Structure 1
Amino acid sequence: MESASPSQVLLVDDDQRLCSMVSDYLQHNGMSVLLAGSGAQALTELDRSAPQLLILDLMLPDTDGLALCRSIRARNDDRASVPILMLTAKGDAMDRVIGLEMGADDYLPKPFEPRELLARARALMRRPALAVRATDDGMLSFGRLVIDLHAREVRVSGQRRMLTSHQFDLLVLLAQRPGRVLSRDQIMQLMRGSSLEAFDRSIDVHIARIRSMIEDDPRDPRRIQTVRGAGYVFAKSQH
């Protein structure tokens, strides 16, 4: 009986010392590691192979990790859904929030413990692939619901629905993680730095407002559903 192929990870970082350390550690723990020192090399390697995880540094010599993350999520092939773990040496929480908004699945500030990196990598690779795809125009489409990331507009059956900036950000956060239940604590963590006033006490209010705009029947929501005792989930299958 053949043994299973090792999980393949693409590590994108121009720090050769860090790459060597991380690569050795992950390989020692049963993973196959591909290396890229720039955004261009990362895209070439992504086309050539099919990594199950991309570990992406925020700062690269030819681009920044946010732009690279955004371009990967905008693809129209199965590479668009590769889990992305972003590495950042910056202490600004806004960098992490923006990274998550651009499509990163998780972040890890430098310096980090290799064991924590391994745990986060394994957790991301266990998640089901995202069903959502963004087009080149920055659209997230779910049946009749279309979210325009660039224009920051939401339409249902072609009709524009008016959301506040805060509510739009919350909708995008949920829509980029279809099928994944997010607790209120997780939502607060992901939205941290977005200037939502008293957000911890107004999540339910914002969700209710969003539902009133995008649901056919807000009393029986099909797009944003409540998981009792756990949080909210954006439905993968919509019409």
Structure 2
Amino acid sequence: MDITSHTHHISQQYNIELDDIRKHLSEMGGMAQRQVNDAIIALVDADITKAEQVVRADKTVNSMEVSIDEECIRILARRQPAASDLRLVIAVTKAITDLERIGDEASKIARQAIAMSSEGLAPRGYVEVRHIGGLVSRMLQDSLDAFARLDIEMAENVVQMDRTVDLEYGTAMRELVTFMMEDPRSITRVLNIMWSLRALERIGDHARNLAQYVIYLVKGEDVRHTDLDK
């Protein structure tokens, strides 16, 4: 089911306004996705130019959040939407907050990459960054696709993937702590990797939130604090 067929109204202008917030959400999601992917590359490849691009892009993501939020407020004030339209507007306002925070986390990773350019590369942790980064990038892409298609099954898979990310993150952190205990000289540099892994784990949490908004949008059920099996 494509989100563009969610609801149609007699008022063509109302249809345009609803289509616009969907389109602008997708554009913001694409920008956040690029930030995450570029931040991972910047850290793993020590690409300072790309890291600086990620940091600069955060201002664009922030301004997109403000703009879309204003659009949603105007729809609420002028149209007084009900039922599925109201759920759409609410879901979009929540989703843009998570996307803005994803941008913040990507910027944190990029700043770690910049810091490490002067401190030196860490002796451990890049394999974990690449692996967990790949998982959360896929989660984000799938959650955005699920939102665009109103795909419940894809959204549920994203929520399930968050469990995997949490397990992988916990394992990676334990291994890195052990490594630092064995080689105290590495502590500063490995800590940079650990902070980056923490940012990736948080990005996974926000991607999971996006998927849960899809379930709310389609079913009208808030599943944020519901056991996944239920």
Q: Counting helix residues as a fraction of each chain, which structure ranks higher?
A: 2
TM-score, normalised with respect to structure 1? 0.31
TM-score, normalised with respect to structure 2? 0.32
